[in-house]
Chains A and B, each alone.
Chain A
Amino acid sequence: MDKKLRKSEKILDAALMLFSTRGFYATTIPDIAKAMGMSVGNMYNYFSSKEMLAKEIIKYSSDILGAEIRRVNEEEGNTKEKIRKIVAVYFEMASSKPQHINYFLRVYLANKEVFKDGCEGMLCVSSFVTELMIFFEEGVACGELRNQDFFSAFGLFMGYLGGFVFLSGEGVLEKDLNHYVDEIALNIYNALKH
């Protein structure tokens, strides 16, 4: 990876951390520059605006989560096992790198006006959504999942996981997220199975 690309990724990481904890509007470019130990002027050599940075971050996070789900998709195993693995991957990410999921829930979904130009529809989250498409299509093709509208199934799966991570972030869960993996995976499987 070249030096500029590596630096860009570090800026994405720093901005992701700040946006996901403080919020998009409460974070400024000087805040991010400060966290990076860079001058504000130099920051603009990498990203021309805060909005552009925000859009790059959602693609960046989507790519990371998408790559994890792709790994599950490409493994051997039945759909029931894969559901468990996807839930585990998602919760693991929410525990060890909560900034990615928090960014999605608290910045991307909550500030759609920032993303309206350039992130239309599924554009900026396509690497993640595509893997879910493949997962669902193959689940139906092998006869394990009930054939239904994609978004009905997608909403049930990801809405459930997102909501649960939100509850965890609010501190209302009594136990660690990982504790719920089996139960939630079974609920999802029972809801979607043929």
Chain B
Amino acid sequence: MSQKSTIIWLQGLTCNGNSHSFFNYPQMPSFAASFEMLYHPLLCGAEDFLSLLKSDTKFDFLILEGALSHDERLIERFGIAFYEILDVLAARAKHIICAGSCASFGGVFRLRDPQKITGALFCGKEKGGYWLEKANVINISGCPVHPRWLVETLLALHVGEKVLLDDFLRPKEVFSYLVHHGCLRNEYFEWKVDSQQLGEREGCLFYEHGCVGPMSHANCNKILWNGVSSKTRAGSPCLGCTEFDFPRVALYETQKNMSLPQTPFGISKRAYYSLAGVAKSFKIERLEKKLIDENH
């Protein structure tokens, strides 16, 4: 590849989680061969930043981490109001990449004051965030963002590929999938066998433990985390961290109306309740047992 793409990483209101997730990218040398990080707040100092800010150099990627606000009392960097910094850098960036759910939708910070704290183009599911409109924004939601989602999107753009986006401006390559796809508990979901407790191998976490894998867009169970596991594989529910409404309240409880959970994404209530009612009518002994029984 001839020329490296340049990146400025800017943090709004954040816990650093997306930065840490990114640093866990296992093929970092390969990433570094194609990209140059002009500034990252955990790697560089004020001097680097201020000289970049003052220059009029154009760059390829402005990566935003954290929720955004126009209110200078809420957020500033190096004694400069955050909105001044963001407006200057956004005007010089070819692409703006929101890394994580806070930059995409406002995330947990939005809950404090949704009027003032938002994502770049969204406030939850509503359009209109820090900006009302902007053509070059891509949301890569997640809490945190998966390093591969971020790097592979950057690489696609770097080599000039078109990145198809969904209605929330998320790359379809990642967010067309549901967390349910590839979940090892699918057979338990099919036959409506609940998990008794968190952390065990057996059972589905959808009915009691708050799992929203069937309605959350992400390929976690396809590419896994750190290449080895996922929340649902480890016996913890999917918390829906890639969705606009993250975080919901009572994450580890399934929200039900008259015992009836929300239906999987794109499945009608009539279809789902009919099928679930039928499946529940049978007791499948194999699925009631431990997967690995020490006594047999």
Residues of A within 8 A of B (CB): 70, 120-123, 126-127, 129-131, 133-134, 136-141, 145, 147-151, 153
Contacts and interface: CB of A to CB of B under 8 A. Distances in A.
Contacts of B23: none
B277 A126 contact: yes
Given A130-B270, A130-B273, A136 B280 contact: no
A172 B41 CA distance: 82
A134 B267 CA distance: 13
A149 B258 CA distance: 5
A140 B261 CA distance: 12
B256 to A, nearest CB: 8
20 contacts: A121-B282, A122-B280, A123-B281, A126-B274, A126-B278, A127-B274, A129-B277, A130-B277, A133-B260, A133-B269, A134-B270, A137-B257, A137-B273, A138-B257, A139-B257, A140-B257, A145-B258, A147-B257, A148-B258, A150-B258
Contacts of A136: 257-258, 260
A137 B281 contact: no
- Ordered nearest first, which 3 A-B pairs have the shortest CB separation? A121-B281, A140-B257, A150-B259
Contact of B273 (A133, A140, A148): A133
Interface of B: 256-260, 269-270, 273-274, 277-278, 280-282
Contacts of B257: 136-141, 147
A121 B274 contact: no
B274 to A, nearest CB: 5
Contacts of A133: 258, 260, 269, 273, 277
B274 A147 contact: no
A54 B281 CA distance: 19
A122 B281 contact: yes
B282 A137 contact: no
Contacts of B273: 130, 133-134, 137
Contact of A137 (B269, B274, B277, B278): B269
A129 B258 CA distance: 13
A122 to B, nearest CB: 5
Given A123-B277, A140-B257, 17 more contacts: A70-B270, A120-B281, A121-B277, A126-B278, A130-B274, A130-B277, A134-B270, A134-B273, A137-B258, A137-B260, A139-B257, A139-B258, A141-B257, A147-B256, A147-B257, A151-B259, A153-B258
